[in-house]
């Protein structure tokens, strides 16, 4: 046991090393890569934010909603003939296949989110269960889904799927921006803007904000609270499905029964950092978390520090501003 503990202590050469020159040298590549991961975090974080804004509960099963979308992507692309090597297809065919995979991921994630709400949370609402019961149920639902996938697919990651070979698009400050980074960031930002405008301007969005602000008064004004809650879960599932496509695009071998756990924790941290319950805060928090993690791993010389740095910064921000950077509740969002 002593030998094991000693082997876990890093050698002097492996200890913390503030490598500022390397960070400066790789600043722009780390920035664009951080924005890519941050866009994925932000899409998943929106699911946490929307549910919290409406129900004031943390849906810890949302990480499994996300990973079900990843399996939707995997099975669809496997059926279409994708494998470890990128297929020899034209741009139009690749776009069509990716849209089919996106549709499958959205259906898988949205269906999972719907079932979680129906089977886990709705019975508790009918019984006016305490908040602690919701929290325990959310954690339990997360583990149930996770280990159902384990029994179904086993402990090993699914084979890698490469959708396309990234090609250089343009150069910024000597750093090449490739097609993969551009697709993920642009598509994710467009989706988040659409959701933000939907919440602020549509009739259903006004219902969501009304329930978030005062569910009892919203019901008296004719808002169907149960319908709004289900819609909120489904919107979160749709966004998680889109994030699943981008995640598999970025990490081809990332589809695994517990693959959503760490990313879900990061997305939740992003929602808290930006101000949980605030749609734009989820976007800001996700992008910041992606950037901070990338800068940290280069500065400290190891990818193992990525999560540590991100969560340390999260704690420091919350010590100064406990409600998060954009700490306005969903119900108080203005159209």
Q: Which long-range contacts (CB under 8 A, 24 or more apart) does 96-102 make?
A: 97/163, 98/163, 98/245, 100/76, 101/72, 101/73, 101/76, 101/77, 101/163, 101/245, 102/73, 102/241, 102/242, 102/245
Mean pLDDT (whole number) for 34-41: 93
DSSP annotation of 256: -
Backbone torsion region of residue 162, taken as left when φ is above 0, otherwise alpha when ψ lies between -120 and 50, otherwise beta: beta
What is the percent of the chain where pLDDT is above 70?
93
Is the overall model pTM greater than 0.85, yes or no?
A: yes
**What are the tens digits of pLDDT across the range 280-329?**
888 999 999 999 888 888 888 777 777 777 778 878 888 888 888 887 65
Q: Indicate the angle between helix axes 259-274 and 62-79, nearest 10 degrees.
A: 130
- Above 60 in pLDDT, residue 335? no
Helices (H), the chain: 2-8, 20-25, 27-55, 62-79, 91-116, 122-126, 131-153, 179-201, 203-213, 215-220, 225-250, 259-274, 279-300, 306-320
Q: Residues 234-266: pLDDT tens digits?
A: 999 999 999 999 999 999 888 999 988 888 988
- Alpha carbons 19 and 37: distance in angstroms, whole number: 22
Whether the predicted pLDDT of 15 surpasses 80? no
pLDDT at 101: 95
């Amino acid at each position: 046991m002593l030998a094991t503990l000693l082997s876990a202590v890093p050698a002097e050469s492996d200890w913390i090393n503030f490598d500022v020159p390397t960070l400066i040298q790789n600043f722009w590549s780390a920035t664009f890569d951080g924005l890519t991961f941050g866009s994925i975090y932000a899409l998943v974080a929106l699911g946490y934010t929307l549910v919290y804004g409406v129900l004031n509960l943390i849906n810890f099963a949302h990480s499994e909603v996300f990973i079900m979308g990843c399996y939707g992507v995997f099975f669809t692309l496997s059926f279409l003939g994708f494998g470890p090597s990128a297929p020899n297809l034209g741009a139009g065919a690749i776009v069509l296949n990716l849209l089919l995979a996106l549709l499958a991921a959205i259906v898988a994630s949205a269906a999972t989110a719907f079932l979680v709400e129906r089977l886990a949370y709705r019975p508790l609402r009918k019984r006016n269960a305490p908040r602690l019961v919701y929290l325990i149920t959310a954690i339990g639902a997360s583990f149930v889904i996770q280990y159902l996938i384990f029994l179904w697919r086993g402990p090993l990651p699914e084979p890698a799927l490469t959708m396309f070979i990234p090609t250089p698009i343009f150069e910024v400050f000597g750093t090449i921006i490739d097609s993969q980074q551009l697709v993920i960031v642009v598509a994710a930002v467009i989706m988040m803007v659409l959701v933000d405008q939907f919440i602020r301007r549509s009739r259903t969005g006004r219902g969501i904000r009304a329930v978030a602000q005062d569910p009892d008064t919203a019901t008296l004004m004719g808002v169907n609270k149960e319908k709004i809650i289900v819609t909120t879960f489904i919107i979160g599932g749709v966004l998680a499905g889109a994030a699943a496509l981008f995640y598999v695009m970025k990490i081809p071998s990332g589809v695994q029964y517990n693959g959503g756990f760490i990313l879900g924790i990061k997305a939740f941290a992003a929602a808290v950092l930006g101000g949980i319950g605030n749609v734009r805060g989820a976007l800001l928090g996700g992008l910041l978390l992606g950037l901070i993690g990338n800068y940290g791993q280069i500065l400290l010389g190891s990818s193992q520090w990525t999560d540590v740095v991100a969560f340390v910064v999260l704690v420091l921000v919350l010590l100064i501003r406990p409600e998060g950077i954009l700490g306005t509740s969903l119900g108080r969002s203005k159209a």
